[in-house]
Chain A
Amino acid sequence: MMNTFILQETKNTPSIIFIPSEKKFLIKGKCFPENSKKFFEPLIRWIENNPIEYDFNLVVNFDYISSASVVSFLELIRKMAKINPNKIEISWIYEAGDDDSLNIAKNLERLSGIKFNCTEID
């Protein structure tokens, strides 16, 4: 059985659902942890120990992401791209009209080299 990584949403941290057996990879919610580095560390460690060996799509829907979390999220996806030799894409879901969120996605795409597919929702 494959390992999973599941974390429940709180008022200031998103839910994280990584279930490789179902090809389900999702991060959703507000993201402004006290310490973004510490928050993403367990997931980064989990990815190091559980390399995903097929092309996969990570769905990301941050209602809000703090500046420090953007840096830590960038570190996470860079790590994912480094460990996983397969194709990774990110589905970036953002609220209609939230240009700041779209700009964050564009910046992250540029800095990580990972393809971002951005989708507006109402």
Chain B
Amino acid sequence: MGNASNKALEICNSRYQELYGNYNSKLSKKILVSHFGEFSQDLVNSITNNVEETMLEAGDKKGTVKRVFSILVEGLQNVRLHGEKDDDNKQHSFLIIAQDEHEYLITFGNLILNKNLPAIEERLKQINTYDESEVKALYMEVLTNGIISNKGGAGLGFITMAMKSKNKLKYYFEEINDKLSCFTVELKVDRSGV
């Protein structure tokens, strides 16, 4: 907490604050969930269940609820498995879910190694240039080769998230030092969608 010498924490946290403020004040959205720090599996379970219940109570369509649920599961799995740790062996990850009458914005943040950045950026760029059928084809291609890494990832996270979002992924990298960057990705789900 508040360790000023920890640049990784500082940068991730200021990014989190900035996004929070942006959704809340500038865009006048309601913040449904926000968390900064580590994500245990228990926390993931409780967030996903709570959001599902809240959305159903708010009258969202089942399809919309399932899409948001899926983005949350995939995104938090990414954050948990791939979020790097700083020198104090801590993950500085975050989640913000913002909402208004038109859409849900789901934003994930975590530390990544700079050496992994080009591969992530390439995959995200690729997904964003594809139309829906091309994304589906890419999903089938990765599924066909079906390999689960030791960490438990299948390489389908961003692809699945893009399929559920039906919108382009917004992403952002901020360099912390020569080893680490803060990575943020935002997914949009339209409430009017099927």
Contacts and interface: CB of A to CB of B under 8 A. Distances in A.
Contacts of A70: 143, 154, 156
Contacts of A35: 151-152
B153 interface: yes
Interface of A: 11-12, 32, 34-38, 64, 66-68, 70-72, 74-75, 95, 97-98, 100, 107, 111
A68 B143 CA distance: 9
Given A12-B45, A68-B152, A68-B154, A107 B140 contact: yes
A36 to B, nearest CB: 6
Interface string B31-43: 0000000000100
A71 B154 contact: yes
Interface stretch (B72-80, B82-90, B184-192): B72-80
B44 interface: yes
Given A12-B44, A32-B73, A111-B143, 11 more contacts: A11-B49, A12-B48, A34-B41, A38-B152, A64-B66, A64-B70, A64-B73, A66-B77, A75-B148, A97-B63, A100-B163
Interface in B118-151: 140, 143-144, 146-148, 151
B41 A74 contact: no
A110 to B, nearest CB: 8
* Chain B interface main SS type: helix
A100 B66 contact: yes
B63 A71 contact: no
Nearest to A70: B143
Nearest to B140: A107
Contacts of B173: none
A64 B160 CA distance: 13
A67 B81 CA distance: 14
Given A34-B152, A95-B62, A97-B63, A66 B140 contact: no
A12 B63 CA distance: 19
A47 to B, nearest CB: 18
Contacts of A111: 143-144, 146
Contacts of A67: 74, 154, 156-157, 159-160
Nearest to B42: A11
7 contacts: A66-B73, A68-B148, A68-B157, A98-B63, A100-B70, A107-B140, A111-B146
Contacts of B160: 67
A70 B164 CA distance: 15
